[in-house]
Amino acid sequence: MTPSSLPRSPYQALQQIWFHPKCVFRALKSAKGWSWWPFLLLTLGTAGVQWLYLLRVDFDWYRHTVLAPSLGALAPADRESLLAMFSANQWAAVTLITSLLGMVVINALVALYLSRMTRLDEENLEGFSDWYGLCWWLQLPMLVSVLVSTLMILAASGEIEPSLLSPLALNRLLNLPMEATGYALAESISLLLAWSLLLAYWAIRTWTKLNRTTTVVIVLLPWLALLLIQTLLA
């Protein structure tokens, strides 16, 4: 690999990450500030598609069909009072804030995990902030889901199922009902996860001298632990 093959700007990196991710990861070892670009694309894309959904959905239908069942522990009168407090714009603001905070926190946890596990390579000099910036690049495949979701929502109106917000979730294949064991997990796992995991593999291999087996274990361990916890809870 020649130095000229490495991206020289975040714009070039955003183009190459889809086809030549190892070149991007090599460049990111010394690049500063580039991770703001995937951060903005992911957060604004996620916020935009959620706002679009709540603008186009019949909010009265959404309030009683989607929100009401999640408040089943409350007394009927209290539930109706709470639901009446929210307009579409207010609920959109709540949804956006919790979603964006969730992305920031989850990536922080992943970065903390990667920064600790990659210490197995004694020559690894990258710390938490380096891995945190990298995590946003690893999540870029999720923009495919954002694009698909946007197109599907624009083509729909009225009683729009929330599943359109995650059109590439595993549950689109399994079609589990809400009351089924494993529903939440199937809805949270994207079919694009394998792509992100592959990017994580190449990132670790590029930034460290860890062997293939160790890298695979580091990449898969959190998801295997999640599946085990879900099984135990079930």
Give, for all 234 residues of the chain, the pLDDT tens digit: 444 488 999 999 999 999 999 999 999 998 889 999 999 999 999 999 999 998 899 988 888 787 777 666 666 666 677 777 777 778 888 888 988 999 999 999 999 999 999 999 998 889 999 999 999 999 999 999 999 999 999 999 888 998 899 999 999 988 888 777 777 788 888 999 999 999 999 999 999 999 999 999 999 998 888 778 777 765
Segment (H or E) for 28 = helix 21-28
Amino acid 75: pLDDT: 66
Tell me the whole-structure pTM to 2 decimals: 0.89
pLDDT of residue 2: 45
User: Rounded to an integer, what distance in angstroms lies between the CA atom of residue 234 and that of residue 231?
Assistant: 5
Residue 140's CB is within 10 A of a number of other CB atoms, namely 22
pLDDT at 79: 67
Q: Domain locations in the chain?
A: 35-233
Give start and end residues of each alpha helix (H) in 57-170. Answer: 59-62, 68-70, 76-84, 88-117, 128-138, 142-154
Two tokens, residue 207: 């930034």
For residue 27, what are the contacts with CB-CB under 8 A and spacing of at least 6? Answer: 6, 7, 8, 13, 34
DSSP 8-state assignment for residue 121: S
Task: Give residue 1's pLDDT.
Answer: 43
Give the list of residues 6+ apart from residue 171 with CB closer than 8 angstroms, or none.
163, 183, 186, 187
Q: Which helix (H) or strand (E) covers residue 37, if one does?
A: helix 36-56
Classify residue 28 by burial, with Cβ atoms within 10 Å: 0-12, 13-18, 19+.
buried
> What single letter denotes the amino acid at residue 199?
L
**Residue burial 83-113, b: 16+ Cβ < 10 Å; e: rest:** beeeebeebbeebbeeebeebeeebeebbee
d(CA 191, CA 211): 27
DSSP 3-state of 124: coil
pLDDT value of residue 93: 85
Instruction: Give me the count of residues in the chain.
Output: 234
- For residue 70, what pLDDT is reported? 67
